[in-house]
Structure 1
Amino acid sequence: MEKPIQILSAYEYKLQFLPCINSVTLQDKSQLQLYKIEEYLKQIVIPVAPYRTSFNFLLFVSEGYVKQQLESENHLIGPGQILNIKQGSITRSHELSPDVKGFYLIYENDILSSISLSRQDQIFLTSDPVILLQESAYNCMVKTFELLDAELHTDYVQEEICLTFFKAIMLKISRQTSHKPLLSMARELYITYKFREKLQQEHKEHKNVIFYAQQLNISETYLNKCIKKATGKPPKQWINEICVQHSQILLRDLGREIADVAYELNFHSLSHFSRVFKKVTHLSPSEFRLQVLNQY
């Protein structure tokens, strides 16, 4: 059986993908780290195998573009765009343009908690992984990243100043959301945010709605009501879709047997996996793999 998708720490990520860094930077275990794309990421050997990270990170492009896979979707991130990749998400870099410039920001969950964002801002930050900055916000964002970069690379880093710049970046991203939710839906949106966060972590082991309701200390009926109201889809559909998205990434590895993919994602049987896969994609796993083969 093939190895499961790796979960990389910040150290492992830098060791594998940033060959030009010095030993001091490699050993840096700070919860907030910032690197210029043009100085570090351009050395990545493309394409790379899918991976997960134990940290969150932002890709902010100021020139050129980055083509990055997040779960089963490919995103082309150009000037003025940010891709926010949450801890545990499946991702990989497909392409970086020769002229690409921008910033790569690593941030741990603890550092995000320390800046005390409102519940609503937390929801906005995870509502869409791709953020297109308004023209009026773009120059401000570039300057803030530059200030944070300068502060993080001084001889005597002042954490409070770094956190202030980081909070400014996250708030600016949050406030770019063009469709603010109604206050009357705040409770449903918060439950949806917590459900999706928990689902990202647990979908391999837990595929029953009742598990997530228990984790959130609410009834299964109420969870169904909240998720359906906020997203238009019931939680079971969310569970099936994220499992299938994960399986699609694994199925692209032609060295894996379909049965091994079903086993790795903890489906009861190959037939169960095939039923769920077809329900979501309208294709069998074999038909999906045939499509992949035809792309080459």
Structure 2
Amino acid sequence: MKNSPKLISNYEYKKFFLPDITTHNLFNNSNIQLYRIENYLKKIVIPVNPYQTTFNFLIFVTQGYVKQQLETSVFEINANQALSIKQGNFTATLELSDDVEGFFVIYENEVITEIALTTSDLRFFYTSPFSILDHDQINWLIRLFELLEEELNQTEHINAISTALLQSALLKIIRTENTDNKSLSRASFISFQFRELVQKNHIQHKNIDYYSNILKISDNYLNKCVKETTGKAPKQWINEITIQHSQILLQDNSKEIAEIAFELHFQSPSYFSRMFKKVTGESPSDYRTRFLKH
């Protein structure tokens, strides 16, 4: 875990970071899993370098706090707050308070895709993954997560029930501050799919036609859909996500900037530096210096 951010599986996450996990839970590969922060996550191995996961997870704090890096931002998740980390995001747990309590929920992509998402719901996963909940919402979610925990602990639990419970919890959190319930347009759905693909493939594939071919649409239509729903062109998304990845790599001072440029498949270190400055307003070396001072 010392060099490039690693893409880790559900099993690897628990093996690397949760030393007190039971054998049963270590080998649990269910598409929904729930753990008490105070029983498992509280003993997470810290510090760790940023990593990516093959699964999604939700941190829901009821007491104390968790400090979690998500991409290049750091969130302090206090009581009555939640943070959603999407598959493929760069993340790391940085700090936990001694009195922290709450729920840590792992879930696979199919749990999300089965929810009837609206246009504004997507902001939760891409621009607003952090939620502050009120007293009634907290109590409702605690009761629901306790029911989910009970269902998952059944010897032969019914997957449809646990899926429905988690989907209800996600919708409650997603729509905390969301009153725009317009159904998801085709353009928004294409934009959502495009950004999912870019998160997974941006290192190897930086050309728009790769993504339009997968989505079975023209380059022009992809450009229209993404720009219409996000205000940014597809190429801008590809560049920004790649540079965001480079910022994670730059946090490791043992890596040469040229090495990072080639690792991310830029044609040259100078081209990488120009693109980095275009996206962030500073050079890679200036970013690294500023980061390491904190």
The reply to whether TM is greater than 0.5 is yes
* Aligned match of 2:69: 69
Structure 2 counterpart of 1:286, one-letter code: S
Q: Does 1:55 align with 2:55?
A: yes
Indicate if the aligned counterparts of 1:203 and 1:239 stay in contact, CA closer than 8 A.
Answer: yes
The normalised TM-score by structure 2 is: 0.91
Alignment partner for residue 115 of structure 2, among 114, 117, 123?
A: 117
Alpha-carbon displacement from aligned partner over 1:168-202 (angstroms, at most 9, x marks no partner): 2122233324252655x723322221111111111
Indicate if the aligned counterparts of 2:123 and 2:129 stay in contact, CA closer than 8 A.
Answer: no
Q: Does 1:27 align with 2:27?
A: yes
Q: Does 1:257 align with 2:256?
A: yes
Structure 1 residue 145, shift from structure 2 partner: 0.5
* Aligned match of 2:172: 172
> What are the equivalent positions in structure 2 for 1:160-199 lying under 5 Å apart?
160-178=160-178, 180=180, 182=182, 186-199=185-198
Structure 2 counterpart of 1:281, one-letter code: T
* Aligned match of 2:208: 209
Structure 1 residue 213, shift from structure 2 partner: 2.1
* Aligned match of 2:7: 7
Structure 2: distance between partners of 1:29 and 1:220:
38
Alpha-carbon displacement from aligned partner over 1:260-295 (angstroms, at most 9, x marks no partner): 111111111111111110101111111112212333
Unpaired runs of 5+ residues, structure 2, are: none
Structure 1 residue 141, shift from structure 2 partner: 0.8
* Aligned match of 1:292: 291
Q: Percent identity?
A: 46
Structure 2: distance between partners of 1:285 and 1:131:
31
Indicate if the aligned counterparts of 2:18 and 2:45 stay in contact, CA closer than 8 A.
Answer: no
Structure 2: distance between partners of 1:83 and 1:237:
26
Indicate if the aligned counterparts of 2:187 and 2:226 stay in contact, CA closer than 8 A.
Answer: yes
Indicate if the aligned counterparts of 1:60 and 1:104 stay in contact, CA closer than 8 A.
Answer: yes
Structure 1 counterpart of 2:76, one-letter code: L
Indicate if the aligned counterparts of 1:123 and 1:190 stay in contact, CA closer than 8 A.
Answer: no
Q: Does 1:273 align with 2:272?
A: yes
Structure 1 residue 154, shift from structure 2 partner: 2.9
Structure 1: distance between partners of 2:179 and 2:234:
22
- Mean Cα displacement is larger for which, 228-237 or 92-101? 228-237
Change in Cα spacing, 1:181 to 1:163, as seen in structure 2 (3 Å) is closer
SS across alignment from 2:67 = strand
* Aligned match of 1:233: 232
Structure 2: distance between partners of 1:242 and 1:186:
24
- Mean Cα displacement is larger for which, 154-163 or 7-16? 154-163
Alpha-carbon displacement from aligned partner over 1:106-152 (angstroms, at most 9, x marks no partner): 11224444xx3224287355243222334432211111011111221
Unpaired runs of 5+ residues, structure 1, are: none
SS across alignment from 1:154 = coil
* Aligned match of 1:157: 157
Structure 1 counterpart of 2:61, one-letter code: V
SS across alignment from 2:185 = helix
Structure 1 counterpart of 2:14, one-letter code: K
Structure 2: distance between partners of 1:282 and 1:175:
34
Structure 1 residue 244, shift from structure 2 partner: 0.9
SS across alignment from 1:120 = coil
* Aligned match of 2:246: 247
Q: CA RMSD in A?
A: 2.0
- Mean Cα displacement is larger for which, 81-90 or 170-179? 170-179
- Mean Cα displacement is larger for which, 228-237 or 94-103? 228-237
Change in Cα spacing, 1:57 to 1:293, as seen in structure 2 (3 Å) is closer
SS across alignment from 1:74 = strand
Structure 2 counterpart of 1:69, one-letter code: Q
Structure 2: distance between partners of 1:157 and 1:239:
41
Indicate if the aligned counterparts of 1:203 and 1:242 stay in contact, CA closer than 8 A.
Answer: yes
* Aligned match of 2:89: 89
Indicate if the aligned counterparts of 1:70 and 1:85 stay in contact, CA closer than 8 A.
Answer: yes
Indicate if the aligned counterparts of 1:125 and 1:170 stay in contact, CA closer than 8 A.
Answer: no
Structure 1 counterpart of 2:35, one-letter code: Y
Change in Cα spacing, 1:214 to 1:92, as seen in structure 2 (3 Å) is same
